[in-house]
C-alpha cells in the first residue's frame, strides 16, 4: 500500500446521500480477483446509458473533473453491501480522498485498509466544499499528519481519525504489511515448531 501523508488535488462533488456500494461498483463487475481494473466501472450506471454511451450531465463525465482525486459526497456514503471492491474502484479511478458528512462503517474501514482516506466533516463544511468545487482551478489539500482539510481561499477544517489507522496510512501498511513487520518472530516461531515436530 502506498504511504499517505498529504494530498493536494482537484475535488469533484457527487451531491447525493446514501450512495451505496452497488452504485459505486455494480455487481456485474465483481468477477476479477485482483484489486485493479475496477476504475473504469466506477459509478457505471450513472456514467453510462444502457447503450454504453456517456451520460453527458453526470459530473464525472465533465472534462473539467477528469483528473479529480478528491471525491466530495453526501451523508452515509458507502452504505449497502460490504464489498471491498468499492474502495478499490474509487482508488483505481484515481481518488485518494473521499470527504462526506458520514460513511457506512464497513466502507470506512475497507477504505482505510486500502489506502483511500475517508474524511468526515460537518454538513456545513461539506456543503461549502461542494460549492467551491464547481470553480475553475480549485484544489484542496488534505494533510493526514495534522488532520486538516484546507484550500487556498481560507477554508480550514479538522477531521478525526483513529491513531492506529493514521499510523498505517502514513507508513503504507495494509494487513499484510502489518504482519510482515513481525516476520522475524514468525520465522523464529515456525523454526521452533518445525524442530519440535
Question: How confident is residue 34, by pLDDT bands cut at 50, 70 and 90?
Answer: confident
* Number of domains the chain contains: 1
**Does residue 92 sit in helix, strand or coil?**
helix
Q: Over 80: is that where the pLDDT of 190 sits?
A: no
Q: Over 80: is that where the pLDDT of 178 sits?
A: no
What pLDDT score does 182 carry?
A: 61
Beta bridge partners of 151: 140
Q: Over 60: is that where the pLDDT of 171 sits?
A: yes
What pLDDT score does 197 carry?
A: 56
What pLDDT score does 33 carry?
A: 77
- The reply to whether 63 falls in a domain is yes
What pLDDT score does 59 carry?
A: 96
- The reply to whether 170 falls in a domain is yes
- Dihedral angle, C-alpha 157, 163, 169, 175, nearest 10 °: -150
Q: What is the DSSP letter of 19?
A: -
Question: How confident is residue 94, by pLDDT bands cut at 50, 70 and 90?
Answer: very high
Question: How confident is residue 195, by pLDDT bands cut at 50, 70 and 90?
Answer: low
Please give the average per-residue pLDDT across 167-193, as a whole number: 75
Instruction: Give residue 62's domain range.
Output: 6-196
- The reply to whether 70 falls in a domain is yes
Q: Hey, which bits of the chain come out as E strands? A: 6-9, 11-14, 70-73, 97-100, 117-120, 140-143, 148-151, 156-158
Beta bridge partners of 144: none
- The reply to whether 1 falls in a domain is no
What's the chain's length in residues? 197
Q: Has this prediction a pTM greater than 0.85?
A: yes
Tens-digit pLDDT profile for residues 107-163: 999 999 999 999 999 999 999 999 999 988 999 999 999 999 999 999 999 999 999
Give which of 90, 125, 105, 126 is closest to 17, Cα–Cα.
Answer: 126
Tens-digit pLDDT profile for residues 36-84: 899 999 999 999 999 999 999 999 999 999 999 999 999 999 999 888 9
What pLDDT score does 35 carry?
A: 82
CATH number, position 150: 3.20.19.10
- The reply to whether 118 falls in a domain is yes
What pLDDT score does 11 carry?
A: 98
Amino acid at each position: 500500500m502506498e504511504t499517505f501523508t498529504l494530498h493536494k488535488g482537484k475535488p469533484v462533488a457527487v451531491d447525493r446521500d446514501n450512495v451505496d456500494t452497488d452504485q459505486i461498483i455494480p455487481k456485474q463487475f465483481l468477477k476479477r480477483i485482483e484489486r485493479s481494473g475496477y476504475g473504469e466501472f466506477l459509478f457505471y450506471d450513472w456514467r453510462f446509458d444502457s447503450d454504453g454511451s456517456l451520460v453527458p450531465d453526470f459530473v464525472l463525465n465533465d472534462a473539467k473533473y477528469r483528473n479529480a482525486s478528491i471525491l466530495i459526497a453526501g451523508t452515509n456514503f458507502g452504505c449497502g453491501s460490504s464489498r471491498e471492491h468499492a474502495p478499490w474502484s474509487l482508488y483505481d479511478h484515481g481518488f485518494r480522498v473521499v470527504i462526506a458528512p458520514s460513511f457506512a462503517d464497513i466502507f470506512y474501514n475497507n477504505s482505510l485498509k486500502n489506502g483511500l482516506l475517508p474524511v468526515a466533516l460537518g454538513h456545513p463544511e461539506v456543503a461549502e466544499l461542494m460549492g467551491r468545487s464547481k470553480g475553475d482551478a480549485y484544489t484542496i489539500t488534505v494533510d493526514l499528519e495534522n488532520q486538516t482539510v484546507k484550500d487556498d481561499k481560507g477554508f480550514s477544517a479538522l477531521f478525526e481519525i483513529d491513531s492506529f489507522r493514521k499510523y498505517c496510512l502514513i507508513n503504507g501498511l495494509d494487513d499484510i504489511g502489518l504482519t510482515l513487520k513481525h516476520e522475524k518472530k514468525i520465522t523464529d516461531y515456525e523454526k521452533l515448531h518445525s524442530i519440535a515436530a
